[in-house]
A = this chain, B = another copy of it.
Amino acid sequence: MAALPGLIGLPAVGPPTEPAAAAAAEVIALLTALFVILVAAKAGEEIFRRLGQPAVVGERAGGFIVGPHALSLVQLNDTLTVFAEIGVVILLFQVGLEVRVDDLIRVGRPAVATAVIAMILPIVAGVGVGFALGTEAGTAAFLGLALAATSIGITSRVLADLGVLDRAFARVVLGAAVIDDVLALVAIGIVSAFATGTPLEQALVVAVAAVGIVGLGFFAARRLRGLRREAFTWPLFADTPLVPAFLIMLGLALVTAGVGLAALVGAFIAGLIVAETEARDELEHEIKPLALIFTPFFFAVTGAELDLGALLDPSIAILAVTLTLLGVVTKAIGGIVGAWSLGRWGALTVGFGMVPRGEVGIVVATLGLTAGLLDGGTFGAVLVAVVATTLIAPYLLAWSIPRATRERLGRKGGPGSVR
């Protein structure tokens, strides 16, 4: 890209490689897209909240409305995607900041149980659907794996919006989501070996690296406990801990993305680490304005990516609805069985928190399509089911979370014990 003298004030020295006016117009167009998306997200949130609906669904609806599959006021581009990605990275960093690593380890048992059960059940269900449709074993396996992995972005936002990040069920969901992401990486590795002939050893190496990174992160969080604020502010450029912490967040997000985990897992671990230091309270304040500006892009851009056209084909729609229902029920059962110790509603909330699927499902389905194991219609149905889980989950959580909170209240016998 050329320098943009018309806007940013300082040019490359040397003749511009494209007319200055055209380059400036491009940046203005990108800034306009950011503006439109942010306005749409906030307008959508406003309307949905006034109707008593979840804010996050409103932000996505706003993005959908101005997006390329509805009014086409904005086209998707790399810059919007980067804003969206930084948005979810900051969201998970912020969530990590509010979680104590010891609390997370304390719920290790239900978290592991939930992650494992809630990954096996959808695979079994998907395989069952595959056999019911009379497909071959490979297709059935792909269908199951595509429904297996959770994406924690939406649940994190709902938990934060409802102010329940400090509850046990929230910690179990977050812990299970991290484990889920590692398991999904293993699953993708196996699937890749199966579909594209990548050596299975490579998948194992990556899985070991992923486990190592997550383990190292938890270890670092415990070791760095009580680290003084000056550990962040010793550089002259750092009047406050924000910039160093932001760099740690971005760096760990890139590391986890580099080995194939979600970038948001790295950001969450960065939040956990920083939360153990003396800089925690200050960072919670400083990260908030960044989260307010960036996170709406994640939800609105993913809303803008929605294309509901695939639902017009009845056979795809029926398969999609079936997969969606199985996707919800299997995760709910996974939560109930795995996290039963939290009480009925708490366990159900954990299961509902695992409902949203995302990147991994798409990657698996794409691999299946590429390998010729899924046809176009089945592929489309998987994508619709993935999106549908993200639309349903906020409503399920809005229904179960107040009950889980009351349940806990009832058991412990008073409001004082809730937090």
Contact = CB atoms under 8 A, between A and B. Distances in A.
Copies per assembly:
2
A34 to B, nearest CB: 7
Interface stretch (A23-31, A324-332, A336-344): A23-31
A78 to B, nearest CB: 6
Contact of A6 (B39, B236, B359): B359
Contact of A28 (B236, B247, B257): B257
A122 interface: no
Contacts of A380: 13-15
A35 B247 contact: yes
Interface string A4-16: 1111111111111
A180 interface: no
Interface stretch (A109-117, A273-281, A299-307): A299-307
Contact of A42 (B10, B19, B79, B243): B243
Nearest to A302: B10
Interface in A21-78: 21, 24, 26-28, 30-32, 34-35, 38-39, 42, 45-46, 49-50, 55, 75-78
Given A26-B78, A243-B293, A310 B88 contact: no
Contacts of A206: none
Contacts of A250: 31, 34-35, 38
A78 B301 CA distance: 18
Contacts of A390: 9-10
Interface in A247-264: 247, 250-251, 253-254, 257-258, 262-264
B27 A82 contact: yes
Given A13-B387, A14-B380, A366-B19, A81 B8 contact: yes
Contact of A35 (B79, B254, B386): B254
A45 B379 CA distance: 50
Contacts of A247: 35, 38-39, 42
A240 interface: yes
Contacts of A308: 13
Contact of A307 (B13, B246, B386): B13
A32 B7 CA distance: 24
A15 B379 contact: yes
B39 A153 contact: no
Contact of A81 (B1, B237, B240, B363): B1
A372 interface: no
B13 A292 contact: no
A326 B50 CA distance: 61
A359 B78 contact: no
Given A14-B383, A310-B13, A363-B20, A292 B5 contact: no
Nearest to A251: B35
Contacts of A31: 82, 85-86, 250, 253-254, 257, 263
Given A16-B362, A42-B247, 18 more contacts: A4-B81, A5-B366, A6-B362, A7-B81, A7-B263, A8-B84, A10-B358, A13-B309, A20-B362, A20-B366, A24-B257, A31-B253, A31-B263, A34-B86, A35-B254, A38-B243, A289-B289, A290-B293
25 contacts: A1-B77, A5-B359, A8-B88, A9-B264, A10-B306, A10-B358, A11-B362, A11-B383, A12-B307, A12-B383, A13-B384, A15-B379, A15-B380, A24-B257, A27-B82, A28-B254, A30-B82, A35-B250, A42-B237, A46-B236, A79-B82, A242-B292, A243-B293, A286-B292, A287-B289
Interface of A: 1-16, 19-21, 24, 26-28, 30-32, 34-35, 38-39, 42, 45-46, 49-50, 55, 75-79, 81-82, 84-86, 88, 151, 153, 235-238, 240, 242-243, 246-247, 250-251, 253-254, 257-258, 262-264, 286-290, 292-293, 298, 301-302, 305-310, 358-359, 362-363, 366, 369-370, 376, 379-380, 383-384, 386-387, 390
